[in-house]
Structure 1
Amino acid sequence: MSTSHSDSASRPVAIVTGGSRNIGRAIALALGAAGMAVVIVARSDRDAAEQVVHELEALGTQATSVLADVAREASADLIVAHALERFGRLDVLVNNAAIRRERPVEAMSLAEWREITGICLDGAFLLCRAAIPHLATVPAGAIINIGGLTAYTGAPNRAHVVAAKAGLDGLTKALAVELAPRGITVNLVSPGRIGTDRSHASAEKNPAHHARNQTLVGREGTAEEVAAMVAYLAGPQARFLTGQTVHVNGGAFLP
């Protein structure tokens, strides 16, 4: 979609990593419905990313997509530069990109460990570092990290995922303290059992921890329910919330 800076200068702009599928797609659509222009970041599936762009445009908002591996240091600057080039500003960063494979820890290679932590945790750090100077120039800059239930409950065969998601919780608190003087809020949304398409290679079809983490409400959550919380934290009503972990899990975990 062709957009000039003057056309979009007054519209808040959000970057959503892992924005082409499942929770990321729902977040992008929720932010678009709230009136934001959205940059969809996907690692390799251009068609899926462009489909979300078309869905956002159908909502009457502006959108663009960029392919990038968030675990690579150069990608963060590329993603932020793309957002600024297309829309002229940056207001919200949603670090959602993740891989949730399962592997017994004694069989896990260092490369497998680093692949997961690189995307989930290193990628969030790199994007935050690149985005902060620009988030600090807008009236309501916000960073929202997407965590996970097993960071708090543990899970078999997920040492890399659990460690990375727990690290995101720590990163959220550290940045909330550091960035508050610059007017940037930093929060984490931790989804529980969410009904998503698990046919992609980045996720297990039947995660072992699901049998242990039953919800009180008797059902899985939806991607849209997670997205609604992200949209709230990205909006003007949440400016008194920072450094918080918000659990969207149907009562599967009671902190």
Structure 2
Amino acid sequence: MLNLLKEHKYVSVNKLANILNYSKSTIRRDLTNLSKIKLVQRTPGGAILIRDQYTEDPLDVRQYANANKKKIIADLAIDYIENYASVFLDSSSTCFFLAKKLKQKKHVVIVTPNLITVSYLELNTDNSVYCIGGKVTDQRSGGPESEMATQNYFVDIMFFSCRGIDDSLGVSDRVETEASIKRAMSKQAKKVVLLVDSTKFDNHFLFKSIEMANIDVIISDKKPDKLFCENLLKENHHMEIIYPDTN
């Protein structure tokens, strides 16, 4: 439903019911629920998408978006984690895909603000997991308390994602608290790795995240175009850009 709204900006209840093969009452109920979490604006007979530059899909929704791309990225990223390493995973759905791979590793210590990741790792692996405290919103912690809590950890490697990456403007997010905790944690990590699927190239959002010069590795599901790569490497000559056919 959200994908249809993103494509058409406005969709009627009748059209949604026909395309999705659901009853009109179900469509109306779902649109009402989406309006409650500020993703759409209800109109007589349909809904308008609220511009996604200013909204954040719930984590439960984001876990299903571009899942195949995120699996590819996780397959590449897991090779950067050694047994006995300490790792930070941000609250992104991309990092949750990486968390699912950690069953392959032993004696890893994971730090994260994502409550879903904490629960999954605690139940499905023998690794140690620490949850960064703070105000909980949409199953993740954030805010000033979370930023302060990052000072209690020094990790070997930090993995994070973003909402957009622009070769001139850098890495950005929709939510200020997400951007700020990433900036704080990047100061506590020996290596910083950005996990970004190809749909996020050439996009930028309101809140700037980690400086491009502070990123050691970018991992994506496909190679960015040549000019994009050249501009990234101008900002950071030591950056690695990894994608499935790198070798």
TM norm. shorter chain > 0.5: no
TM-score by length of 2: 0.36
Give the helix-richer structure, 1 or 2: 1
Give the strand-richer structure, 1 or 2: 2
User: Higher relative contact order by CA 8 Å / sep ≥ 6: 1 or 2?
Assistant: 1
